[in-house]
Structure 1
Amino acid sequence: MTNDDSPSNLNEDTKTIEKTMQPVLTIQAQHISTPNESLMIMREGCNTKKKLIYLPSSLINDLLQVYHSDPLSGHFGVQRTYLKIKNKYWWPNMKQSITQYIQSCLPCQQYNISRSKKPGRLQPIPPPEGPFQLIGMDYCGPFKQTPRGNQYVLCLTDYFTRWVVAAAVPDCSAQTTAEALFNEYICKYGVPAVILSDQGTHFHNQLMEAMSKLVGYNHIYSTTYHPQSNGMIERFNATFVPQIAKLQDKENNNWDEFLLPVVFAYNTGTHSTTNYSPFQLLFGREPRLPTDGQIYSFTFRKPNDYYEQLKKSMKLIHGYARGNIIRKQHQYKTQYDKRRPDPHYAINDRVLIRRHGIKNKLEPKFSITPQIIIRAQHPVYVVRDEITQIETQVHINDIRPIYVSKLN
């Protein structure tokens, strides 16, 4: 016998079990001691008849506490709980009562992972009218440090042409971010109207705020833990990492030497959304590649003719590209929204929010304490913790309503 199995501990465990089972024992005792058959109900099926205890409404919660929340019941779902109860007890709308009770079980709401689609419809970002009006910015990494000291890649993607700029950098500090943005993008392509990024400290800081005011662009931030808000650059990151991994010399760890060739290959390939290459949408022509043969030249009567022809071509392909973007967004939204719930919450609604970065698998997946909706701009909400009063901005994807039992 171990210390944990001492008589005192066993007695405590026995008392706990007896206390938990008391409601059931009370119900069964009432049934045995009461000769009145009105407490019984007869169920027929499979050529058999069975007497069931008719449970009064005042005892339903006590019984469900034992059959669902007790350690020996395991917090299982509606069907398993119902099958355990139905052969012993009966009351009107029994399945509905069990469903409501389990839906309102707070531990189940905090720990259970829904197998249905996450709530919230897709909100596509309207395509800009032209290049460099809206760009997305994000970091990829860390990777293994190269001999040049690089560990991260700062990626910037134009939302109209899909033109990508990528810079290998040693870290993702605010100073490094500002320098790379200025040197690799602004000095080469001009100042974008809007930059979209996540709320990481490398983007959301005093230095970047000062730079946006000084240079003259609007910096907006996506919702925390909602990469779909900046989905285009997330998809590029998922594309270029495998390509670099295939090309790098693992012994010399020179992935940063292949970064620009991979970006060039991406920019000169036809994009599935626009049906044009980013290079063509930016420069009005296709690039000459090492595999190309004879160079074709065009003769214009006046030097200005080339400019006029280029302007017409750019206007034409930009119009086609924008139409293709809108069409693809509509197709993707239709597919994404199919059979997807889209609940709306009001001010003062009590909810739970998803907890990200949980490494311990036994930790609850949703907030331990309820959150109160204090600002609503669907699909983004601001919630306040009931205990700590901390305010958090959260997307509808990460919100779960709190169900409260309607049982007496």
Structure 2
Amino acid sequence: MLGSLPAEKKLNWKDYVGPMAHAYNCTKHETTGYAPFYLMFGRHARLPVDILFGIVNNNGPTDGEQYDDYVIKLLEQLNHAYVTSQNSASEAKARQKHNYDKRTTTNSVLKIGDRVLVQKKAIVGKQKLADQWEEKPYVIVNKHPTLPVYTVENDTHKRTLHRNLLTPCMFLPIEDPIDVNVNQHIIKSRSWKIKKGRELFESWKRKQAHLTDS
């Protein structure tokens, strides 16, 4: 939201944190279906625009209503809001996961025993000069039966990652070969010469940088 400020106001961005946080908290959230303010206090916020348009906001107890009755009604409203928002969030999560999986690369199927590099997710922004992939290769040791999720391993780490975070690198060496048991067959990774592997790795990084620039 702060990024939407005009250039001349971005220098004083801290002055707009409060108003923008208030606007966010009073706005209906796409995922939950409720404004954060309502989920916190069980009522809609009273805004200056309500006075401007003469909108009556019956959030508090009505005339003649007992305090205990109002508390019970408030708790019922909050409980309904919590259940509804949780269901909406679960549906949104499943929908987002489905859309994410659809973008997975399908023309390059990875197999158990393949060597891969893992993308560095800590890098923020374009950063053309930064390495986009971890230097040490991994070996695929398992694949989820229905999802594009793989378990990869090297001599120091074992991780479970989505296909979008992996790229094949069969030309790279593994200094310490890993034995992988799959269906009672042992897949032994070949160890290539380190010097030749480093040269190929540098060549591959230059190609990746060229594709990123283009």
TM-score using structure 2 length: 0.55
Aligned to 1:275, the other structure's residue is in SS state: coil
Counterpart check, 1:351 vs 2:116: yes
1:340: how far off?
3.3
Inter-partner Cα distance in structure 1 for 2:17 and 2:23: 10
Inter-partner Cα distance in structure 2 for 1:352 and 1:269: 42
Tell me the equivalent position of 2:90: 326
Distance 1:368-1:322 versus aligned 2 partners, 3 A rule: closer
Inter-partner Cα distance in structure 1 for 2:120 and 2:9: 39
1:324: how far off?
1.9
Q: How many residues align?
A: 155
Inter-partner Cα distance in structure 1 for 2:117 and 2:72: 59
1:283: how far off?
1.2
Inter-partner Cα distance in structure 2 for 1:262 and 1:339: 33
Tell me the equivalent position of 2:14: 256
Tell me the equivalent position of 2:174: none
Q: Is the 8 A contact 2:115 2:170 kept in 1?
A: no
Inter-partner Cα distance in structure 1 for 2:137 and 2:43: 57
Q: Is the 8 A contact 1:353 1:400 kept in 2?
A: yes
Matches within 5 A, 1:141-220: none
Counterpart check, 1:299 vs 2:63: yes
Structure 1 counterpart of 2:72, from 303, 308, 314: 308
Question: Where does the alignment leave 5 or more consecutive residues of structure 2 unmatched?
Answer: 172-214
Tell me the equivalent position of 1:170: none
Distance 1:300-1:403 versus aligned 2 partners, 3 A rule: farther
Q: Is the 8 A contact 2:2 2:13 kept in 1?
A: no
Inter-partner Cα distance in structure 1 for 2:134 and 2:65: 71
Inter-partner Cα distance in structure 2 for 1:299 and 1:349: 72
1:318: how far off?
1.9
Tell me the equivalent position of 2:28: 270
1:379: how far off?
3.4
Inter-partner Cα distance in structure 2 for 1:402 and 1:247: 43
Tell me the equivalent position of 1:217: none
Matches within 5 A, 1:40-189: none
Counterpart check, 1:400 vs 2:164: no
Inter-partner Cα distance in structure 2 for 1:283 and 1:247: 35
Q: Describe the superposition over 1:92-119 as per-residue Cα deviations: whole angstroms up to 9, x where unpaired.
A: xxxxxxxxxxxxxxxxxxxxxxxxxxxx
1:309: how far off?
0.3
Question: Where does the alignment leave 5 or more consecutive residues of structure 1 unmatched?
Answer: 1-239
Tell me the equivalent position of 2:2: 241
Higher RCO structure (Cα 8 Å, ≥6 apart):
1
Larger Rg: 1
Distance 1:371-1:267 versus aligned 2 partners, 3 A rule: same
1:264: how far off?
0.8
Inter-partner Cα distance in structure 1 for 2:21 and 2:8: 14
Aligned to 2:78, the other structure's residue is in SS state: helix
Inter-partner Cα distance in structure 2 for 1:319 and 1:330: 17
Tell me the equivalent position of 2:149: 379
Tell me the equivalent position of 1:151: none
Structure 2 counterpart of 1:360, from 119, 122, 129: 129
Matched-pair identity in %: 25
Aligned to 1:340, the other structure's residue is in SS state: coil
1:249: how far off?
3.6
Aligned to 2:48, the other structure's residue is in SS state: coil
CA RMSD of aligned residues (A): 3.7
Q: Is the 8 A contact 1:375 1:383 kept in 2?
A: no
